[in-house]
Chains A and B, each alone.
Chain A
Amino acid sequence: MPLIEIKDRAAIAGVGQSAYGRRLMRSAIDLGADAIAAALADAGLKRDELDGMIVTFGTPIGADADTLAQVLNLKLRAYSQTWAHGRFTASAIQWAALMVASGMANHVACLASVSFSGLRRPVMGGAGDSEGAREAGGSHGEDPVFGMTSPGAGAALVARRYFARYGATSALLAAVPMAFRKHAALNPAAIMREPFSVADHQASRFVCEPLHLLDYCLINDGAACVIVTSAERARDLRQPPVYIAGMQPLPAGREEFIWAYPGFGVAQQAAFDYDAGAQPVYRMAGVGPGDIDALFTYDAFSILAWMALERFGFCKPGEAAAFTQDGRIELGGALPMNLNGGLLSEAHIMGWNHQVEIVRQLRGACGTRQVAGAEVIQWANAYGDSLIYHR
């Protein structure tokens, strides 16, 4: 038995964001300050009540936790920060939940702020490819000797194998970014709001084939923040709490590749028929995939939505191509996904913009893009971690 029963013990009490834009020409610290202040105001918390922070994407693209604490003159009892990747969103919230459950902190700001327009040289993809220079290679499969660079190339490798293995096509994959763009059209904060057709998708240039430009997320500036606190404390604050019912941590190992579930057979993964089985997040939350009112996923590249659907058992391996057609993942469909527009169309805030949207959906505050009666919403990713929230 676990030492701490964590189900429904932690909640999101406040959410906030900065402006999002392609080239805001504002620093990551500046944007992060906006998001933190907005989240505190949303929760009805004073600055000095914030005593914990976890940042998932710092130097050189984002603002680091210690710097934010200095600039904002915070009194943090506890902070932490991950290696600069988008994959740690659920991890940060899980650790924050453990922090508040154990009394290490009372109110934990979890966030990333990014300022790609402030970068002097590329750090992901290209000549400054820090991933490719890593001993034993990059975490998205980077190997600059062969010109293999950038997270998108690793996703393209997965997409090509998916197409070859299951007979799917790029035209079918177009349904994913098209759906998220439709949602972005309903979101005034989204950077890309113009709907497009399959023909537009197919006509957009290849970046790393078989992925087209419209399969790639945005590169932008912005920050988003959520405040994690105890469920008890959240009930005393300004907004209705959004509870964290289920948690599934981030796995690693030889059978994991960042953009593919075990058995898919890329990088050094064994190739076998994956069976989602009973994913721990559902057992903990006491619900199943059929109970999920909306699904949010880390959509840096369109193919990741297919991988997430199959990894968590919404459909079987090879079935996501058909599953995502005919509006099923759109507002009004059986499983609406990424109602904010996702990284593909709202903004790339490392998944923090998705957490903000999940909370607002569960508050019923999303206006024309509101999922009617949304009670249970899941964050689940190609790389295997997950959160299940409810109101």
Chain B
Amino acid sequence: MAENKDEYRKPRPAVSALNRPYWDALRRHQLVLQRCGECGMRWYPAAPLCPRCWSRRIEWAPASGRGRVNSWVVFHQSYFRGFDADVPYNVAEVELEEGPRLLTNLIDVGNDEIRAGMEVEVVFDDAAPDLTIAKFRPRRASA
């Protein structure tokens, strides 16, 4: 968080025609997932059609931003210069209430305090002027 946000040095997302709405929504501090207009399925990552019924009647719709930690790892080795100062840092797989799982970094929690099933909520990290990333933190008592 101490880094100069004008010189963002971590890897940037591979934004494509498929996933651009996801990244654009994050900049508005919205977490969105695709939803099938036929069968209602939600999924991640972005796809051109519903993985279940192949309908192309799909839309981007808000997600709750709530989920649980499904698994996690802690990197003790830096592979990217932009992460050098963060080691050891966590990467978690969060299962959203809607079902899909997102990879993310957990904040406001020590790496040794992370537990499977821990309830978490999205935090919008304005990492650079043109980039917002969905991170997660332990869910706070009923807001």
Contacts and interface: CB of A to CB of B under 8 A. Distances in A.
Contacts of A206: 74, 76, 88
B86 interface: yes
Contacts of A165: 116
A267 B47 CA distance: 15
A149 interface: yes
A208 B103 contact: no
Contacts of B51: 254
A131 to B, nearest CB: 11
A147 B72 contact: no
Contact of B12 (A135, A145, A149, A209): A145
Contacts of B81: 127
Nearest to A147: B83
A152 to B, nearest CB: 9
- Among A125, A143, A161, A265, which residue has the most Cβ atoms of chain B within 10 A? A143
A374 to B, nearest CB: 37
Contacts of B46: 136
Given A135-B14, A147-B83, A164-B71, A153 B91 contact: yes
A148 B100 CA distance: 18
A122 interface: yes
A136 B16 CA distance: 9
A208 B116 contact: no
Interface residues of B, number: 39
B133 interface: yes
Contacts of A122: 79
A149 B71 CA distance: 15
A137 interface: yes
Nearest to B76: A206
A340 interface: no
A268 B88 CA distance: 26
Interface residues of A, number: 39
Interface string B68-108: 00111111110111010010110101000000110111000
A135 B70 contact: no
Nearest to B74: A209
Contact of A146 (B16, B18, B91, B100): B91
Contacts of B79: 122, 125-127, 129, 147, 149-150
Contacts of A144: 10-11, 80
Nearest to A267: B101
Interface string B18-57: 1000000000000000000000000111110001000000
Contact of A161 (B10, B11, B18, B70): B70
A277 to B, nearest CB: 24
B129 interface: no
B75 A147 contact: yes
A268 B104 contact: no
A145 B76 contact: no
Contact of A137 (B45, B100, B115): B45
A322 interface: no
Contacts of B105: 146-147
A157 interface: yes
Contact of B18 (A134, A135, A208, A265): A135
Interface of B: 10-14, 16, 18, 43-47, 51, 70-77, 79-81, 83, 86, 88-89, 91, 93, 100-101, 103-105, 111, 115-116, 133
Given A127-B80, A147-B105, A149-B80, 14 more contacts: A137-B45, A144-B11, A146-B104, A147-B80, A147-B91, A164-B115, A205-B76, A206-B76, A208-B75, A209-B73, A209-B76, A254-B51, A268-B44, A268-B100
The 10 closest A-B CB pairs, nearest first, are A144-B11, A164-B116, A126-B79, A209-B74, A161-B71, A206-B76, A156-B73, A147-B83, A143-B103, A148-B91
11 contacts: A127-B80, A135-B14, A141-B103, A145-B12, A160-B73, A165-B116, A206-B88, A207-B76, A210-B73, A266-B71, A268-B44
Interface of A: 122, 125-127, 129, 132-137, 141, 143-150, 153, 156-158, 160-161, 164-165, 205-210, 254, 265-268
